[in-house]
Amino acid sequence: MSNSRPHVVAVPHRHVEPRRITFEFEGTPRHWFGGNRVASVAVDALNLLFPAGERFFVRAVRHHAALVDDPELRAQIRGFMGQEVRHGLEHERFFTTLERQGFEIQRFLRFFERVGFAFVEPRTSPALRLSVTVALEHFTAHLAELALREGLVEAMHPSVRALITWHAIEEIEHKSVAFDVLRAVDDRFALRVAGMAVACALLGGFFSVAFVDLLLQDLAMGRTAETSGRLPFDLRRVGLVRAVRRYLTPGFHPDQRDHEALLAQHREALRPAA
Ligand SMILES: [Fe+2]
Ligand SMILES: [Fe+2]
């Protein structure tokens, strides 16, 4: 519980610092992900969730920050918040590109704000909000690994590839921060399970609404010169159920997966843009 005494947890040293990069989306085609409509629209739908979702993560973690004594974790929290704020801003800039491509997105964004943050958020406890954040951070780290390890970014238009590569790297860099805050303030396994259940319901619900909304609009706009029917990745590799099962294993910690080599390989790609 948020008002209980914090536990002492061993926090591994990790450098978490936001990079100030501004991306250029001019000329991004509608089917920017391997020319595939479904893949492009699916990531566009996620894109609609990121800015408000990441601001929610920041609120949820900040609420508990004062309970954390460990200077290492406190520094990581600052880095985490800085990274998430920057992600939200850059993904929000992509909204203009979506609108230029012909999508009406304000209707969904209003619905998302009203249901997710005006209605659901105030009706949940701070501990549950933190646990939901930790579960969603597990998904972002999982998707980030997928994007980088499975070469998904290679099939993306360069403008979006740069945005996704940067976001994926930073999600992996701060993958354990919210988790360690939750461990420090309330380490009940039941709370972690409840957070995952609520996260699945909210993410599944909002993603589906955004995806169907954008897909119907995209179909109405028709094919483009680059449209191809082939999905640019193997759907079976997405592995969301596997990710949930790993998360629900007692003793799970995000650091159990070693991402250092993957990060080193892709940080290189960011360098020219930095
Ligand atoms: Fe993020
Ligand atoms: Fe994150």
Please say if the pLDDT value at position 270 is more than 60. Answer: yes
pLDDT for res 273: 47
Please say if the pLDDT value at position 89 is more than 50. Answer: yes
Residue 59, domain member (yes or no): yes
> For residue 206, what are the contacts with CB-CB under 8 A and spacing of at least 6?
49, 112, 115, 116
Average pLDDT of the chain to the nearest whole number: 92
How close is the Cα of 106 to the center of ligand 2, in Å? 24
Number of domains in the chain: 1
Residue 2, domain member (yes or no): no
Average pLDDT over residues 46-56: 98
Residue 141, domain member (yes or no): yes
Please report which ligand is nearest the Cα atom of 60.
2
Domain range for 233 is 37-273
pLDDT confidence bin for 8, thresholds 50/70/90: low
Residue 26, domain member (yes or no): no
Ion ligand 2 residues within 5 Å by Cβ: 137, 140, 171
How close is the Cα of 221 to the center of ligand 2, in Å? 33
Each residue's pLDDT tens digit, 123-146: 999 999 999 999 999 999 999 999
Residue 196, domain member (yes or no): yes
Of the candidates 174, 187, 190, which has an alpha carbon nearest to the alpha carbon of residue 9? Answer: 187
Please report which ligand is nearest the Cα atom of 84.
1
Each residue's pLDDT tens digit, 210-255: 999 999 999 999 988 778 778 888 877 889 999 999 999 988 999 9
How close is the Cα of 224 to the center of ligand 2, in Å? 33
Lowest mean pLDDT among 36-50, 148-162, 205-219: 148-162
Q: Which residue has the tokens 């972002």?
A: 140
Residue 30, domain member (yes or no): no
How close is the Cα of 136 to the center of ligand 2, in Å? 8
